[in-house]
Structure 1
Amino acid sequence: MTTWDPAAFRDQVQQVLDDFLAAREAELAPLGPDAGRLVAEARTAVRGGKRFRASFCHWGYRAIRPDVADPAALARACASLEVLHASALVHDDYMDASDTRRGRPATHRTFEAEHRAAGWRGAPEQYGAAAAILLGDLLLGWAGDMLRGSGFGTQETAAGLALFEQCRSEVIAGQFLDVSVQARGRADVDTAMTVLRYKSAKYSIERPLHIGAGLAGATADQIEQLTRFGLPLGEAFQLRDDLLGVFGDPEETGKPAGDDLVEGKRTVLVALALDAASPAAARRLDGALGTPLGPADVDELRGIIEDSGARAQVEDVIGALADRAVAALQPADVDDHARVVLTELAAAATQRTL
C-alpha cells in the first residue's frame, strides 16, 4: 500500500495545467498579444487552491481500480475538473461583483484596470465584464476538451464525459438558481439548501468521485454508493464555505471580512439566522445584506448571526453530514486504501479554514 502525498499531487495537477495552457497558448499565438493576455489570465485562474475536485476524481478512480494503468491520463482527467472550477469562479466573481479571488484581483477587475490604465474607449467595467465572460466560457470549453483528450479508451472516456456533462449542466443551472434567489432577496432554508446542493456540493465532491469512478469502469451500484458518501460530504463542504464567507479570516481566505454579507448571499447560514433572530435583529440583517458595509457593520451582522444560534447550528449540521458520509463509505464496495484516503479527504474538506 502506497502513502498518498497531497502536496505532491497538487504539484502534479499544476504541472498538467501548465502544460495544457502552454499548448493552448501556442494554438492561439496567431491571434496576437490580446489572446496571450487571455491565456495569461487563464493561468492565474487555475493557480492555487486545495485541488479537492481533482483529488476526489483521483480517488474515485482508485476506489474502483486501485492500480492506475495510465497515471498521466488520470492526472489530465483530474486536472480537467480544476479547469471547470476555474471557469465557475471567473463567472461567479463577476456575477457577485467580487473584487478579489485568493488574494488577487478577480478577472473582471484585472481587465477593467488594464482598460482604464490604457485609456481605451468605452467603459472599463464593460470591458472587464466581457473579458470575464469570455474567459469563463473558454475555460469551460477547455475543461471538456481536456477530459476528452486525457488519454483513456473510447468506452472509459464516454463514461467519464457523460458524468462530466451532467456536472456541467448542474453547476450552471445551480448558479442561475443562486442568482435568482439573490434577485428576489429572500430564501428559506430549503431553497438555500437546493442552491447549495446544485451550485457547489455536487460538482465539488459527488460528481468528481463519479467521473473518476466512471473512468475506472464503475457499476451503477458503485456510483450510487459513492453518492451516499459524496453528496452529504459536498453539502458539508459548502456549508463550511458559507461559514468562512462570514466568519473567515481574510488573511487565510483571500477575501474581505464578511464578504458574503456584502455580496448579499442568501445562504443556509443567513436563512437560519433570519428564522431564529429577534424581529428587530432579523430586519437589520435582512436590510443590510448586499449593501456597502464597514467593519463595524460586518461585526454587528456577525453578532446577530452568532447570537441567533445559526453559526452553531451550521457547525452541528456540518459534523452530522460528514459523519453520515464517512459511515456510508465504510460498507461501500471500494478499495480499502481508497476508503482510508477518502476518509482523510472528508476531514480536510470540512475542517478547513480557507
Structure 2
Amino acid sequence: MNTSRPSDLPRDAPLGLDTPVDDGRWDSHPNRTRVVAQTRIVALPRYPATGLADHLGQVDVLLVDSLDDLTRLWTTELDDQAHLDVLGSRDLPMLIQQLLQSGGKRIRPAMCYLGWLAASGAERGVGRAEVVTVGAALELLHVFALIHDDVMDESASRRGQPSVHAQASRMHVESKAKGSARRFGESIAMLVGDLAHAEADQLAAGLPAEMRRIWRILVVELVCGQRRDLTGSVAGRRDLGHARQVARMKSGSYTVERPLQLGAAAAQAPAPVLTSLGVYGREVGEAFALRDDLLGVWGDPTLTGKPAGDDLLSGKPTVILALAQQRARGATRMLLDRVGTSELTSGDVAVLQHELKECGVVDAVESTISTHLARALSALDAGLLRPEGIAGLTQMAHQIAWRNR
C-alpha cells in the first residue's frame, strides 16, 4: 500500500485547508442573513463527489443560527448600558464568533461527515440532519477547548491573532480599569469558553442516545487529557508513554476517532463498520497528534499562528521532548533542562531546533507518522465501507499526516 505523500501534493502545499466556504463577508449570504466570514475548511478537491464542502457550508449556517439565538438571549440578560463597560461592544458571543471566523480547519465536522458517508448514511438516507448538528456542536466545543487551553498555557496568540484572554486583558488596560488586567483577561476567557461549551451541549442535547453517549465520552476524554497535560507539566514528566497518552486523549481521539464514531452512529452503522472506522480513527488520530508536536517545535509561525518553537518555550510534555530526553547528550541535554522555564532564550530555541533534528528526533517522528498512515489505510475495508467514503478518508489521512498548519 502506498502511504507516501501524493505526487501532486508538494510538501509545503496548504493541503486544501485554505478553501473558503463562501467569499462573502459575515453580513452577506444567499441563504442566510449572515455566514461565518471566510471560514476555512478541509476541502477534498480530488474527490468532489463526497459533498464535503457542501456539508461544511451547512455546518457553518447552523453555527450562524446558533450564535444568532445565543446573541439574542445574551442581550436580553444585559441592560442597555453594557456597551459602556470594559468590554465595550466586544461581548462574549462576539468573541466566540471571532474565533469561529479565524481560519479553523474544520477537521472534526469533516471527520464526522466522512464517517457518516463511509457508513452508508447518504446511501440509506439516514442521519443527515444529525451529522450537521453534531458538526456544529464539535466546532463550538473546539472553541471552548482552544480558549481554555490558551489560558492554561499562557499563550498570547491563536491562529495569528491575540488569544481571547490577551484581548480582554488589553481592553482592561485601555479602559484604565481597576485590578489585575491579566486576571480579568483570564476570567473573561474562561467565561467565553464556558459559553461556547454550553452552546455545544445545547446542540448535542437533541441528538439520538448513541450519539449523546459518544459525545459524553469525547468531552470527558478531552478534559482528562488536559488534566494529564497539566499534571505532567508541573511534575516535569517527559517519558514517552505519558506524552503519547496526552496526545491521544487531547488531540487524536477528540479530533479523529470520536468524530468518526459520531458520524457512523448517525448512519446507524453496524458493529463491523464501527470497528473498521475505529482502527482508522485511532491511527490517523496518532498521526494528527504527532504532526501537531512537530509543528509545535518547527512549524512556520505564518502558517501555524504560533511563535516558532512555542512548545519548547512552554515546556509542553510532547513526544518531541520525550524523544529528545532519550537521545540528547552533552550541551543539548543541558539546554533541555531549561525548556519550559524563563531561562530558555530564543537563541536556545534555535539551537534546540537544530540539535534535535541532528539527533534524529524529526526522522523518528516522521517515520512513525508514516507507519500510522499505513495502518489507517489498511483498516479501510472495501467490503464494509462505501467507496466514496474510503476515497474521502484516504485523502483526509494524507492531508492530516502531511499538513503544515
Q: Return the TM-score normalized by structure 2.
A: 0.81
Number of aligned residue pairs: give it. Answer: 348
Secondary structure at 1:3 match in 2: helix
Structure 1 residue corresponding to 2:122, chosen from 66, 70, 78: 66
1:120 alignment partner in structure 2: 177
Taking the TM superposition and a 5 Å limit, the aligned residue runs for 1:86-165 are 86-149=143-206, 157-165=208-216
Residue 206 of structure 1 contacts residue 230 of structure 1 at CA under 8 Å; is this kept in 2?
Answer: yes
1:345 alignment partner in structure 2: 396
* Alpha-carbon distance between aligned partners in 2 of 1:27 and 1:213, rounded to the nearest angstrom: 33
Residue 264 of structure 1 contacts residue 289 of structure 1 at CA under 8 Å; is this kept in 2?
Answer: yes
Residue 263 of structure 1 contacts residue 291 of structure 1 at CA under 8 Å; is this kept in 2?
Answer: no
Displacement of 1:308 after TM fit? 1.6
Displacement of 1:77 after TM fit? 1.8
Residue 130 of structure 2 contacts residue 266 of structure 2 at CA under 8 Å; is this kept in 1?
Answer: no
2:94 alignment partner in structure 1: 40
Residue 50 of structure 2 contacts residue 388 of structure 2 at CA under 8 Å; is this kept in 1?
Answer: no
Displacement of 1:115 after TM fit? 1.0
Residue 148 of structure 1 contacts residue 161 of structure 1 at CA under 8 Å; is this kept in 2?
Answer: yes
2:230 alignment partner in structure 1: 179
Residue 53 of structure 1 contacts residue 81 of structure 1 at CA under 8 Å; is this kept in 2?
Answer: yes
Structure with a larger share of its residues in helix: 1
1:50-108 deviations in Å (ceiling 9; x for gaps): 10100000111122213345644432221211111111111101100000000111111
1:160-216 deviations in Å (ceiling 9; x for gaps): 111000000000011000011111112211111011111111000000001111121
Residue 222 of structure 1 pairs with residue 279 of structure 2: no
1:285 alignment partner in structure 2: 336
Instruction: Give the direction of change, closer, same or farther, for the CA distance of 1:281–1:36 in structure 2 (3 Å limit).
Output: closer
Residue 314 of structure 2 contacts residue 341 of structure 2 at CA under 8 Å; is this kept in 1?
Answer: yes
Displacement of 1:327 after TM fit? 0.6
Residue 88 of structure 1 contacts residue 136 of structure 1 at CA under 8 Å; is this kept in 2?
Answer: yes
Structure 1 residue corresponding to 2:299, chosen from 248, 262, 285: 248
Q: Return the TM-score normalized by structure 1.
A: 0.93
Secondary structure at 1:49 match in 2: coil
CA RMSD of aligned residues (A): 1.9
Secondary structure at 2:113 match in 1: helix
Secondary structure at 1:287 match in 2: coil
1:235 alignment partner in structure 2: 286
* Alpha-carbon distance between aligned partners in 1 of 2:350 and 2:247, rounded to the nearest angstrom: 25
Residue 10 of structure 1 contacts residue 50 of structure 1 at CA under 8 Å; is this kept in 2?
Answer: no
1:3 alignment partner in structure 2: 49
Structure 1 residue corresponding to 2:376, chosen from 315, 325, 335: 325
2:67 alignment partner in structure 1: 21
- Name the stretch that deviates more: 331-340 or 44-53: 331-340
* Alpha-carbon distance between aligned partners in 2 of 1:308 and 1:2, rounded to the nearest angstrom: 42
Instruction: Give the direction of change, closer, same or farther, for the CA distance of 1:332–1:95 in structure 2 (3 Å limit).
Output: farther
Consecutive unaligned residues in structure 1, runs of 5 or more = none
* Alpha-carbon distance between aligned partners in 2 of 1:168 and 1:128, rounded to the nearest angstrom: 25
* Alpha-carbon distance between aligned partners in 2 of 1:301 and 1:276, rounded to the nearest angstrom: 12
Consecutive unaligned residues in structure 2, runs of 5 or more = 1-46
* Alpha-carbon distance between aligned partners in 2 of 1:292 and 1:219, rounded to the nearest angstrom: 55
Residue 300 of structure 1 pairs with residue 356 of structure 2: no
Instruction: Give the direction of change, closer, same or farther, for the CA distance of 1:254–1:329 in structure 2 (3 Å limit).
Output: same
Secondary structure at 1:66 match in 2: helix
Residue 265 of structure 1 contacts residue 290 of structure 1 at CA under 8 Å; is this kept in 2?
Answer: no
Residue 277 of structure 1 contacts residue 307 of structure 1 at CA under 8 Å; is this kept in 2?
Answer: no
Residue 113 of structure 1 contacts residue 124 of structure 1 at CA under 8 Å; is this kept in 2?
Answer: yes
2:13 alignment partner in structure 1: none
One-letter code aligned to 2:122: P
One-letter code aligned to 1:183: V
Structure 1 residue corresponding to 2:111, chosen from 48, 56, 71: 56
- Name the stretch that deviates more: 118-127 or 33-42: 33-42
Residue 144 of structure 2 contacts residue 194 of structure 2 at CA under 8 Å; is this kept in 1?
Answer: yes
Secondary structure at 2:104 match in 1: coil
Instruction: Give the direction of change, closer, same or farther, for the CA distance of 1:70–1:189 in structure 2 (3 Å limit).
Output: closer
One-letter code aligned to 1:78: G
* Alpha-carbon distance between aligned partners in 2 of 1:158 and 1:199, rounded to the nearest angstrom: 24
Residue 25 of structure 1 contacts residue 36 of structure 1 at CA under 8 Å; is this kept in 2?
Answer: no
One-letter code aligned to 1:40: M
- Name the stretch that deviates more: 136-145 or 72-81: 72-81
